[in-house]
Homo-oligomer: A and B are copies of this chain.
Amino acid sequence: MEKEITIYDIAKILGLSPATVSRALNDHPAINSKTKILINEKAIEMGYQSNTFASNLRRRRTNTLGVIVPRLNSNFMSAVLAGMEEEANISGYNLLISQSLESAKKEISNAKTMFNSRVDGLLASVAYDTDTFDHFESFIKKGIPVLFFDRIIDHPKCSGVVIDNVLAGFTATSHLIEKGCKRIMHVTGNLKRNVYSGRLKGYQDALLQNNLTASNELLMITDLSQEAGKYVAQKIDEMEIRPDGIFISNDICAVSCMKALKEKGYNIPDDIAVVGFNNDPVSQVIEPNLTTVYYPGQEMGKVAIRTIVNHLKGIQSIDVSDKIVLPSELIIRKSSLKEID
């Protein structure tokens, strides 16, 4: 335990004022360059470390961005975070990260913590069951930018970085139709969330456009977990008229479903073609390899940080460009390539 070295200590030793030391360390133009060198050398010699908190208090900013995600341990989310960290680091920002564990209550509590920590900006991907916007309102009121990503809230004051989920769902479904599927099932998550409702919309649009009817029996709302995948397979097995194609909103669930279907003796893709979502590593390991929608996680993280940092620097206001839409892409693999005769 050693005492902290402050600018006062440096000032005293050099016979200067703390103000001069502070300015020298911040490379203020009014300070003589020789003095700057002198002070900087002394600072290093004495092992001076700036106290971020005193600085934050006075400057009224923290160089810290808050990030709230549903879960840290998903392949997609960790890619987003990796991108965010990389970009934030470049811009000199720190990341305060927390997870809501898909609970709106915890999300609200985390938002409050972030607020009290005086983050300069907030990035959020909302939980399954988030209904309200109030916990973000306090940020807006104070002029702290809030930017959503992936799972966004439909609220006029907030912008977000997303992919075109409707288009992605449309493309995925159209692909199945093209490959000869007539009875396509869709497995997705909580429809409160844009990502799932959007993909459903795309799925429905594609069916309509091809004169196929979307029946309730062919739509399953699940939590998209591994278990859900097995459950879906079970349900399919029990159906009287089975689907000949499935579009599942998440690779983990899709792969688990495929495994279960294979065990039950179904041939993929000939009996049932499958399309997933995310381009998770498992999609390239399952056999047949899973056709899926590539989802640019790392890029999304980078763009989100870049956008909010530019806003903070005053380079580009967020509110102008409301939604930033990143491209997604259907990656066609064998799980959807039926032998069409």
Contacts and interface: CB of A to CB of B under 8 A. Distances in A.
Interface in A274-292: 281-282, 285-287
A54 B51 contact: no
A72 B259 CA distance: 29
Interface string A85-106: 1100100001111110100001
Interface stretch (A75-83, A120-128, A216-224): A75-83
Contact of A51 (B47, B57, B286): B57
A321 interface: no
Q: How large is the interface on A (under 10, 10 to 19, 20 to 34, 35 or more residues)?
A: 35 or more
A123 to B, nearest CB: 13
Interface stretch (A110-118, A174-182, A183-191, A264-272): A110-118
Number of identical monomers bound together in the oligomeric complex: 2
Contact of A98 (B94, B98, B282, B285): B94
A89 B97 CA distance: 11
A142 interface: yes
Interface of A: 1-2, 47, 49-54, 56-57, 62, 64, 71-75, 77-79, 81-82, 85-86, 89, 94-99, 101, 106, 110, 113, 115-118, 138, 141-143, 252, 255, 259, 281-282, 285-287, 298
